[in-house]
Amino acid sequence: MSAPILSVQDLRVYYYTEAGAVKAVDGVTLDVARGMKMGLVGESGCGKSTMAMAFMRLIKPPGRIESGQVVLDGTDLVPLSEDRMRRVRLNEISLIPQGAMNSLNPVARVRKQIIDGIQDHNGRFSRAELNDRVEEVLEAVDLRPEVADMFPHELSGGMKQRVCVAIAISMRPKVIIADEPTSALDVVVQRQVMETIQRLQQELGISMILIGHDMGLMAQSIEHLAVMYSGRLAELAEVNAIFEEPLHPYTQLLISTLPVLGAKGVFRGIPGITPSLLSPPPGCLFHPRCPQAQEICQHKVPTWQEIRPGRWVACHKYEV
């Protein structure tokens, strides 16, 4: 097993507000192998978008990376200077942020936006080389070359999102993070965009981290799945294993809430609400809602460990 392309060690990201420190990410450890498709699933507010921003070193005050390491292909990104980090972004690790299609510059043509991205992070190309690259990436995401000279408002939602994907792969990074890339799209367009991303990922050998809340989309698109809850990881394993045998009670509940063809009209929810990240409960964060909580869960934080090869859990039920 070769070294992982991205190795996150005990990452903590806190937001300092007037009311105190909000622990958005509180001790996350995970490895992403080369060419791997990893999913990060969790409810709104669990810290997954913050994680994506932390990987890109885009956390702004009042938030900051409190401690931990984000090692990309041997280099820890956390202590890098902003100058060096800018050269890492887009070239080695890139992000398709949430609602990306709405942040395309409305008064710039697609061509210019792709070129801007490349020039900002890697200014060594000639005009001809840049235009070539624009054509290349548009073709890679199945968009006609004419799209390069169009404005964002002339494109449909799916096309805009594919432009964002094109920008993200323009420098052939090693890792792509896609934060809810299809959240505002119709089912058919969603499928098209996801299939495009998957095909690209395969062709270019890029490692992908897909962030979202839809287990269905995860099941279709990734191979390894990490489940996040309130700033910490609950479980990490191959996606088949998670669906067949979910270990963490939260994962079990998550899966049980999903609609399944055949079991019509059966609705299950997860009782209770997510804890405040400002004053989290002691011990395991999930214990107030956990149907299998024990005495120890109320005061001792469970350790994140690999209990079997390829299966990571943070739960007292499985503590070795």
Partner 1 sequence: MAQAASAIRYLRRNGRLLVGIILLLILFLFAFVGRLFVDGNDAYPLSAPANLAPTLEYPFGTDSQGRDLLAVGVMGTYLTTKIGVVAGSLGLGFGTILGFLAAYYGGVLDTVVRWVVDVLLTIPSLLVLVVIASTFQGGIDVNGMALVVALLAWMWPARVIRSQVLTMKQRAFVRVAQLSGSSNLEIIFKELMPNLLPFLGASLVGSVTGAIFASLGLEALGLGPMREPTLGMTIYWVMYYGAFVRGMWWWIMNPIVIIVILFVGLFLVSAGLDELANPRLRRRV
Partner 2 sequence: MTPTLELRDVTKVYSGGLFKRRSTVALEKNYISVGGEHPTIVAIAGESGSGKTTMGMLMLGFIEPTSGQVLYKGQDLWALPKPAWTEFRREVQAIFQDPFEVYNPFYKVDHVLMVPIRKFGLAHTRAQEHDLIERALTSVGLRPDETLGRYPHQLSGGQRQRITVARALLLDPKVIIADEPVSMIDASLRATVLKSLRLLRDEAGISILYITHDLATAYHICDEIMVLYQGTVAEAGDVDSVIQAPKHPYTQLLVGSIPWPDPKRKWGQDAVLTQADVFHVETKGCKFAPRCARAMDICRESPPPLFQTEAGRAVTCYLYKDAPVLDGSEIGKVLGQNGRGAAEATRDGVVPKPGVPQVGLPG
Binding-site size, partner 1 (CB under 8 A): 5
Residue environment code for 61-93, b if the CB has 16+ CB neighbours within 10 A, otherwise e: eebebbebebbbeeeebbebeeeebeebbbbbb
Q: Which does 258 bind (CB under 5 to 8 A by kind): partner 2, partner 1, none?
A: partner 2
Judge residue 28's burial from the number of C-beta atoms within 10 Å of its C-beta, 0-12 exposed, 13-18 middle, 19 or more buried. buried
Of 85, 204, 255, 293, the one binding partner 2 by CB under 8 A: 255
Query: Which strands, in side-by-side order, build the sheet including 175-179?
Result: 93-96, 175-179, 207-212, 37-41, 224-229, 232-238, 311-313, 305-308
Binding-site size, partner 2 (CB under 8 A): 44
For partner 1, the closer CB: 61 or 269: 61
For partner 1, the closer CB: 18 or 83: 18
For 2, other C-beta atoms within 10 Å of its C-beta total 7
For partner 2, the closer CB: 74 or 265: 265
Q: Which does 268 bind (CB under 5 to 8 A by kind): partner 1, partner 2, none?
A: partner 2
Q: Which does 209 bind (CB under 5 to 8 A by kind): partner 2, partner 1, none?
A: none
Q: Which of 61-69, 79-87, 120-128, 255-263 is the region at the interface with partner 2 (rule: CB under 8 A)?
A: 255-263
Kindly give the residue spans of alpha helices, DSSP state H, lying in 41-173: 48-55, 82-88, 110-121, 127-140, 157-169
Q: Which does 201 bind (CB under 5 to 8 A by kind): partner 2, partner 1, none?
A: none
Of 17, 67, 103, 298, the one binding partner 1 by CB under 8 A: 17
* Residue 268 makes contact with partner 2 by CB under 8 A: yes
Residue environment code for 148-184, b if the CB has 16+ CB neighbours within 10 A, otherwise e: bebebeebebbbbbbbbbbbbbbbebbbbbbbbbbeb
* Residue 103 makes contact with partner 1 by CB under 8 A: no
Of 29, 49, 50, 190, the one binding partner 2 by CB under 8 A: 190
Of 29, 49, 170, 274, the one binding partner 2 by CB under 8 A: 274
Q: Which of 18-26, 67-75, 202-210, 269-277 is the region at the interface with partner 2 (rule: CB under 8 A)?
A: 269-277
Across the chain, which distance is largest between two alpha carbons, in Å? 67
- Which tokens hold the place of 139? 């073709």
Kindly give the residue spans of alpha helices, DSSP state H, lying in 205-304: 215-221, 239-244, 249-256
For partner 1, the closer CB: 33 or 184: 184
- Chain residues that interact with partner 1, rule: CB under 8 A: 16-18, 61-62
